[in-house]
Amino acid sequence: MTDLCPCMQGEPFDNCCGPLLSGEKSAATAAQLMRSRYTAFARGDRDYLIRSWHRSTRPKPLRLDPDQRWLRLEIVGTTGGGLLEAEGTVEFRAHYEQNGRRDVLHQNSNFVKQDGRWVYLE
């Protein structure tokens, strides 16, 4: 039995964000990249987060909090970010738990294509 992907699409990880995190595939849209980045946070995949971050805004080094547990992702809306576009935004709510307390990160993130691939800008 395969675990469901943390991105909340209802698919097994190996058929959903797994190929993106492994580098086998790249995200087709900004929203797909957002889902895969959430999955990378949930799984602690620092390498994928760095690879999918625009080189001009990527932090050095990237530190992940081991006490933060990601619970659920909601995509609220998108603008642009489609197959034939070069930029887009994704509004989302990422629910998490840290030190026994639940909270929500609500953000409108910007994505652009860099070298033909979607990356997180800010």
> In sequence order, what are the residues at sequence separation of 6 or more whose Cβ sits closer than 8 angstroms to the Cβ of residue 54?
112, 114, 119, 120, 121, 122
Residue 60 pLDDT class (50, 70, 90 cuts): confident
Q: Calculate mean pLDDT across residues 106-118.
A: 96
Contact call for residues 55 and 115 (beta carbons, < 8 A): no
What pLDDT, on a 0 to 100 scale, did the predictor assign at position 1?
Answer: 47
What pLDDT, on a 0 to 100 scale, did the predictor assign at position 2?
Answer: 66
What pLDDT, on a 0 to 100 scale, did the predictor assign at position 43?
Answer: 96
The residue ranges of every structural domain in the chain are: 13-120
pLDDT tens, position by position, 38-52: 999 999 999 999 999
What is the average pLDDT score of the chain? 95
Distance between CA atoms of residues 21 and 9, nearest Å: 16
Residue 121 pLDDT class (50, 70, 90 cuts): very high
Q: Give start and end residues of each alpha helix (H) in 1-122.
A: 18-21, 30-43, 46-51
Task: Quote the pTM value.
Answer: 0.94
More confident residue, 35 or 62: 35
CATH among 3.10.450.50, 3.40.50.1010, 1.10.10.10, 3.10.20.600 for 13-120: 3.10.450.50
